[in-house]
Amino acid sequence: MKTFFIIITMWGAFFVLACNKDEPQGYGKEGFCNCGIICKDSIHSQTQTYFFIVENDCSGNSKTFIVDPLIYSAYFEGDRICINNQSAW
Alpha-carbon distance values, 26 to 1, 12, 29, 32 (Å): 47, 31, 10, 6
More confident residue, 83 or 20: 83
Domain boundaries of the chain, sorted by first residue:
23-89
pLDDT, residue 32, reads 75
Alpha-carbon distance values, 63 to 24, 37, 39, 54 (Å): 23, 11, 10, 6
Q: Please determine, for residue 86, whether its predicted confidence score (pLDDT) is greater than 60.
A: yes
Backbone angles phi, psi at 15, to 5 degrees: -70, -35
More confident residue, 71 or 24: 71
Q: Measured between alpha carbons, how far is 4 from 30 in angstroms, rounded to an integer?
A: 42
User: pLDDT for 8-54, tens place per residue?
Assistant: 555 555 444 444 444 444 455 545 789 999 999 999 989 999 999 99
